[in-house]
């Protein structure tokens, strides 16, 4: 298998955490976006999402795995992006994230050790300590990076979901099937 060493987890311990993953739950601001919240002169919120993250999410779900969004804020833009990508599990307005995450995990008929959570700030810590694989972008808050099993190379909003999905699929030997289907 020709694995890209800049993407694939290197330690055996991390590989053992990646192997059972069947679902990814992701925060939005600071992960799927760069964390900035912008309002135009009419008070309309805007966000920028990375196209490569979108493709990665679609590939992840095409593989048969679950992907969900879990955010403390409420934003119609998040729902629109989720709809574009076919993400069915969208949980907004949950400052206490673990209860929402545990409900999603149960709905998916999975156990916490089969779930990866990626977050960047303090409200994400509760979920990170309960799931099988906790991940942070390179620019996450220091407490989050310290708690994460894996700190990725990319910052939030710059393709960090792509880095995560591609690494997991490469590690499991399933990345090539997506390349072959192109």
Binding residues for Mg(2+): 27, 120
Q: Which residues are annotated as a binding site for substrate?
A: 29
Pull the structure tokens for residue 110. 């999975």
Question: Rg of the chain's alpha carbons, rounded to an integer?
Answer: 15
Where do the H-state alpha helices sit in 24-130?
51-62, 76-85, 97-107, 125-128
Q: Which residues are annotated as a binding site?
A: 27, 29, 120
117 sits in which H/E element: strand 115-118
Length of the chain: 182
For the packed helices 51-62 and 76-85, what is the interaxial angle rounded to 10 degrees?
50
């Amino acid at each position: 298998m020709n694995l890209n060493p800049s993407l694939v987890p290197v330690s055996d311990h991390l590989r053992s955490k990646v192997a059972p993953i069947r679902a990814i739950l992701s925060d939005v601001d600071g992960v799927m976006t760069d964390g900035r919240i912008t309002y135009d002169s009419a008070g309309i919120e805007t966000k920028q999402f990375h196209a490569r993250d979108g493709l990665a999410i679609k590939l992840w779900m095409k593989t048969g795995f679950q992907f969900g969004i879990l955010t403390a804020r409420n934003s119609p833009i998040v729902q629109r992006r989720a709809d574009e990508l076919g993400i069915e599990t969208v949980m907004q307005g949950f400052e206490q994230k673990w209860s929402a995450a545990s409900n999603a995990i149960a709905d998916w008929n999975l156990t916490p050790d089969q779930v990866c959570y990626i977050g960047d700030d303090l409200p994400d810590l509760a979920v990170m300590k309960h799931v099988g694989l906790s991940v942070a972008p390179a620019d996450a808050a220091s407490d989050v990076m310290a708690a994460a099993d894996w700190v990725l190379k990319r910052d939030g909003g710059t393709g960090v979901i792509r880095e995560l999905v591609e690494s997991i699929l490469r590690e499991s030997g399933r990345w090539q099937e997506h390349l072959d289907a192109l």
